[in-house]
A and B are shown apart, each in its own frame.
Chain A
Amino acid sequence: MPLAPIIRVHPDDFDIVAETAALTAGRTDIGAIVSFTGLCRSENGRLSALELEHYPGMAEAEMTRIGTLAIERFGLLGLTAIHRYGKIAPGENIVLVIAAAPHRQAAFDGANFVMDFLKTSAPFWKKEHHGDGTTGDWVAAKDADDSARDKWR
Chain B
Amino acid sequence: MTRLVYFAWVRERIGKAEEEISLPPTVATVGDLLNHLKTLGEEYETALQFPEAIRVAINQEHVDHLEPLAGAREIGIFPPMTGG
Contacts and interface: CB of A to CB of B under 8 A. Distances in A.
A136 interface: no
B60 A125 contact: no
Interface of A: 38, 52-55, 57-58, 61-62, 83, 94-95, 115, 118-127, 138-141
A52 B62 CA distance: 20
Contacts of A52: 83
Nearest to A95: B84
B51 interface: no
Chain B interface size band reads 10 to 19
A124 B80 CA distance: 9
B57 interface: yes
A138 to B, nearest CB: 5
A55 B9 contact: no
Closest 3 interchain pairs by CB? A124-B83, A141-B80, A125-B8
B83 A123 contact: yes
